Structure 1
Amino acid sequence: MNETYPTLRYCILGQGNYAVSMLLDNLQACFPKRDIEVEIIANLLEADNDSLIYPYATPGIVCVEKFHTDWTPDVNVPCLVGTFGRGRKAIFEFFAANYGINAEYYAISIHPTSTCSPTLHHGHGLYIGPLSVVGPQTHFGNFVAISRKVSVGHHTVLEDYVGLNPGVDVAGVCHLGKGVIIGAGAVVLDKVKIGEGSMIGAGSVVTKDIPAGVVAYGVPAKVIRSI
């Protein structure tokens, strides 16, 4: 037990074990000398959650799993969203509707190996994984999730719930609408706009604007179908 500093407490809402493992890794990296306790609050039954077969145990962090009906919220404990991708919006809305956990209760989680410009403007619930770079005068909405080795260029806007998978490179002066998901290794060139809810396939190169509500992929990326 660390007697110098009090134990840090967090609450992960929703249990996607892929995301939980990465959230715990971020916490351990940010606070390597602190004792950390985390409640993991599931909102899906075990039979409906195929991520549970994947481990998440992280040295130095004590975790307790609960189903949401057995949980009592504590406004003094910061929350994290326990999934990435499209599930982030669903989890936020579930706990907001059922427990009054609004956006301001969610902490940000930025891995210490990542570099963010001091002129980054961001909302609540931001996650940034290891070795990512965020340029100057960028604007992020609520619950943006940026995986490892991602680059976001200057004056780029990421609206609420945008998700960037590993190795994505978004150039400068781009605008990604709400809920846009960019697949691993994709490149978005300067000044491109991608409409709300669209998905870009892994390895794509986006050279021109993409409308809302579509799937696009390829080099260069082309619209394949509507969502």
Structure 2
Amino acid sequence: MESQEEYRGALKEELVRCGQNVQAVASGREALDGGTDSDLVLLGLELSDLDGLEVCRVLRATRDTPVIAIGSHVSELDTVLALQAGADDYVARPYGFRELMARMEAVMRRAHACERTPEILERGPLSINVPKREVVFKGCVIKMTRKEFDLLLLLAMNPGTVVSREKILSQIWGGSWSRRTVDTHVSSIRSKLGDREWIVSIRGVGFMMAKI
């Protein structure tokens, strides 16, 4: 979805040329009202009617479709805000179309990888319902963004094993983000769980879920 017609038309033309089935909309409201069967959402954050980050949050809360946010600023803050709103990736204009296609393919690979994991993953008092993307810790449902969920799931699938920042960036973000992105999400997960001991920091290497 793009509110700027010049970007929307050009992007749709390129995607169709590459064999994609594209539904293009101009506003956040149109996006929220449709597109429930989409495989991927490209979300331009500068929308004419609604705040793009809020649209991203609603999309993440109501459906499990991967989202790539597109903005006009190349900054760590804009990237972090988009990821915290639930986006799977962030691209700043101007971008190369081949780069965008590569990011789309990476996001879809990660989404399909999650589909091959067990439906219910349990680690002591932690229960992860993968199809529902629901986290229950010590009997309480914990709300998480898509990236937080994916990161927690990756660590939970490798209990007692150190997962490097490089592997986390590669599998969760496609390897294109700063190391601070991982630290920010780990900190948020710890805060939501209310127990820092569950995710252990291995200085200079990465993170590990405590083995139960």
Q: Judge same fold: TM > 0.5, yes or no.
A: no
Structure with higher RCO (Cα < 8 A, 6+ apart): 2
What TM-score results when the alignment is normalised by the length of structure 1? Answer: 0.29
What TM-score results when the alignment is normalised by the length of structure 2? Answer: 0.30
Give the structure with the larger helix fraction: 2
Give the structure with the larger strand fraction: 1
